[in-house]
Each structure stands twice: as C-alpha cells, then as structure tokens.
Amino acid sequence: MLVDLHTHSDQSDGTRTPEALVDHAHAAGIGVLALTDHDTTAGHRRFRARAEAVGIVPVCGVEVSCIWEPGTCHLLGLGVRDDHGPLEQVLERIRGGRDARNREIIAALNALGHPLTIDEVAALAGGDVVGRPHFAAALMQRGIVTSRQEAFDQLLGKGRPAYRGRYRPEPEDAVALVTAAGGRAVLAHPAQLRADESQLVDLVRRLLPHGLWGIEAYFTGVTAEQIATYLALADDFGLAVTMGSDYHGDNKPHVAIGHYGAGKPLPGPCPPALLS
C-alpha cells in the first residue's frame, strides 16, 4: 500500500480540489494520504469525506511556514484538529502576513513595468491562500515569462527584485502549536533548510523539547546521501520517519503523487501513530 504524507490542494497552492486530489491518489493506488496545505486547514472536511468514501485512510494536516535563515523551514502538522483556536489564530496571522506581502509583490512588479493586479492573481487561486506560484501563473498568462521556474529565477525567488518577506512563527512555537492541536510535528523536506549536518542536528535539538515527533526523510528530489543522513538523525533522536511527495498538481508537474522521484515510490509503512 502506497503512502503519501505531504500533498497540497487548491486550498493553498495546489491545483486540484481536495476531492480531486483524493481521486487522483486513489487512482495511483495510495492507501494513506495526508492533506498538508500551506498555513490552512480549510480543506480538511472535504478531504476527509472524500477519502473515507473511496477507502483511503485520511491524515488531515497542515504545512506551517517558519522563520529560518538561510533557507526555508516548513513544519508538517500531521493529524491536527481544524478547530484548535491557538493554531488557527497563528495560521490566520501567517495568511494575513502573506496578504500584505502579496500587495508588496504587486507594487514591486508594477514598478518593474509588469502591470499585474491582485485580482487577476487571486483569480488563479482556488482557495484562501494566494502564494507566489499564483503570481508565476499570472506572469505566464501575461506572457511576461514562459515558465514558473523563469518567474522565480527572474522575479519572485528569494533575493530577486519582486521577492518580499512576511510573518512566520519561530519553529519552536510551530512545533508546540501543532502538538497542542493534537498533531504530530514533522520537519518537512529538510534539504530546503540549506543547513549543514551540524546546523540540522542543532535545530532538531532545539525542537525536541517542544514536541518534535518526526523528520521527512523521503521527498521529491532527495538524494540517497541525504536520505541516509535523515534516517541516521531519526535513529539518533528517536524520531519517526515520514515520506511525502510534496505534490502540487500542475504547479509542480514533475512531482508524481506517491513518489519521491521518477520510478521511486515512497516507501512505507505509514507510522502507526498516524493510523490510530
């Protein structure tokens, strides 16, 4: 049975509805599926209902954006409730910071001679989270760039002229919030931290007292050497090992649900704690 514990719907920056995501996973032979939209739990109920209807075990989750330099720190909350006030308040604040950031990106793009509006960008987002992939899609629609990658490389990526920062919680706070909301806190795609092994170990040590539960050792683009590092880290600190494609639909067409690379199905089994 295939397991995928990291996917996105159109409630954040994926392109499939929660129901269509489940149907796609079912067709791919996936038996346990997590919905982990960025900074929102808005799709949980639709996702759970459809998964139960087709016989997939649903894991309702969230991917929380956290402060980290020099790379990207995302924390998966697997099995979180969607009615936990403190977590929902922080997620709303993150989304609010994203909204302010989006207005700043529009202003920067306009100043660069690209006359986008926030309305046309929002029209390309199916949920309540408008992110940089939607800006990339709008730039492509206008013919300003030819691909999502070009949009990020030239305009939207960190350090590029239209990039703008936004509010994010400290990783420790995110771990504590996920745990308080009944979830399991997992360090997502650790390669994106751009941390050396010593920095990674230090981060894990920082997060453990706050409830860090697992590390995502298998994800799209991971190397065999990185997998070995993450598995050893999990063993050293007693962390669960999770696996997820980080599927986004058409926004990341090279990513196949249930796989961490071409011809590389995500290995099981699903950690038993997520099935209880």
**What pLDDT digit, counting tens, does each position of 41-81 carry?**
999 999 999 999 999 999 999 999 999 976 889 999 999 99
Following DSSP, what letter does each residue of 118-187 receive, concatenated?
Answer: HHHHHTT-SSS---HHHHHHHHHHHTS-SSHHHHIIIIISTTSTT--------HHHHHHHHHHTT-EEEE
Please check whether residues 269 and 219 belong to one and the same domain: yes
Please check whether residues 175 and 262 belong to one and the same domain: yes
For 31, which DSSP code?
Answer: E
Range of the domain at 194: 2-82+170-274
Please check whether residues 132 and 188 belong to one and the same domain: no
pTM, full prediction? 0.84
Please check whether residues 178 and 56 belong to one and the same domain: yes
Looking at residue 127, its pLDDT comes to 54
Please check whether residues 29 and 123 belong to one and the same domain: no
Sheet (strand 57-66) strand order: 2-4, 30-35, 57-66, 73-78, 184-187, 212-218, 240-243
For the cut 60, the answer to whether the pLDDT of residue 138 exceeds it is yes
Which CATH number fits the domain that encloses residue 147?
1.10.150
Cβ pair 153, 90 in contact under 8 A: no
Looking at residue 147, its pLDDT comes to 93
Please check whether residues 126 and 241 belong to one and the same domain: no
